[in-house]
A and B are shown apart, each in its own frame.
Chain A
């Protein structure tokens, strides 16, 4: 995606104080994986949201404070689960390797 900055998505226009942001990038080796699917599961394992990754492998969720699981599905790869904690006023950055 044009304009994406290394180290994370641009947060311009997002009031981080009011959002519990979870974002990151899906990688295969050093290569970003676009068109992967990242699912946000709540603390009981229930699906909450899902986004496809951008061409640069990036994704973002506006979550609520608490513990979440990111489940990543990508072509020719097994699903990968990562645990993450979100809180207001902070951006949880997660790198997922498939």
Chain B
């Protein structure tokens, strides 16, 4: 993967949004954002109602994902272009899903909704309904998803990258500062994890930094590109953003997103937790 194959610009979207075989999809944390205005032709996926299982803590399975995309009118050979608010957090999360379920051509709009709005580009509240398809998701690719036992085994062995804010990493906050304080039972981070906030990979306008800046960012923070990497955050959406940077833009192999993230690790009984600004010992 590379920047060219994984990212598209706002100009590209303006030019190609009406092309047959191009499907724009908005995914937001604030699920009402789409209804107030979206890029013409874009459909919406709700990261919670559409992408999470309604009962268990897990995301939708292969059959559910197939049914969802069939219902929304997405074909297996479509070029799917994802974008959203919060600097593309949830769009990157959805991108990771599409990759997990083997979609061939999926892209992220660089800068997402924010860059689009700051450019004063057009948004519409026109309702979009695509004709149903027969989408067939592939077996989930677990080479890009990490589970808790693997994370525990990675302490002091693999690169662990905690992409939350410094205050969350150190244990001074349990959740991003725009949300009321709740979530995991305990604060802190997984021992030996480096704190490289997702935001360092993005410019103020939400676009991704240049490749050489990104490489320097992770290398300087102690990421050994010769080793496997697991990224995590609070619920896996910001770490999907970092997974996108490492795996899709920089083309690093063996990068996984731990979507259980801190809400799981910080609630597990008996696991090691480090407090403070230092990574801590294995």
Interface residues in chain A, defined as those with a beta carbon under 8 Å from any beta carbon in chain B: 14, 18-19, 35, 37, 39-40, 42, 44, 46-52, 60-64, 71, 73-76, 79
Write 25 A-B pairs (CB below 8 A) sorted by A numbering.
A18-B181, A35-B117, A37-B117, A37-B118, A46-B165, A46-B166, A46-B197, A47-B197, A47-B199, A48-B167, A48-B177, A49-B176, A49-B177, A50-B86, A51-B178, A52-B85, A52-B117, A61-B177, A62-B177, A64-B172, A64-B173, A64-B177, A73-B204, A73-B205, A75-B118
Closest to B173 in A: A64
A47-B199, A61-B178, A64-B173 known; A75-B167 Cβ under 8 A: no
> How far apart sit A50 and B167, CA to CA, in the bound complex (Å)?
15
CB distance from B104 to the nearest CB of A (A): 32
B residues near A71, Cβ cutoff 8 Å: 204
Q: How large is the interface on B (under 10, 10 to 19, 20 to 34, 35 or more residues)?
A: 20 to 34
Q: Are B178 and A62 in contact (CB under 8 A)?
A: yes
Q: Are A75 and B119 in contact (CB under 8 A)?
A: yes
Q: Are A64 and B197 in contact (CB under 8 A)?
A: no
A residues near B173, Cβ cutoff 8 Å: 64
B239 in the interface, Cβ–Cβ < 8 Å?
no
Q: Which of chain B's residues 171-218 have a Cβ closer than 8 Å to chain A?
A: 172-173, 176-181, 197, 199-200, 204-205
CB distance from B209 to the nearest CB of A (A): 13
> How far apart sit A73 and B177, CA to CA, in the bound complex (Å)?
18
Q: Are A75 and B180 in contact (CB under 8 A)?
A: no
> How far apart sit A71 and B205, CA to CA, in the bound complex (Å)?
11
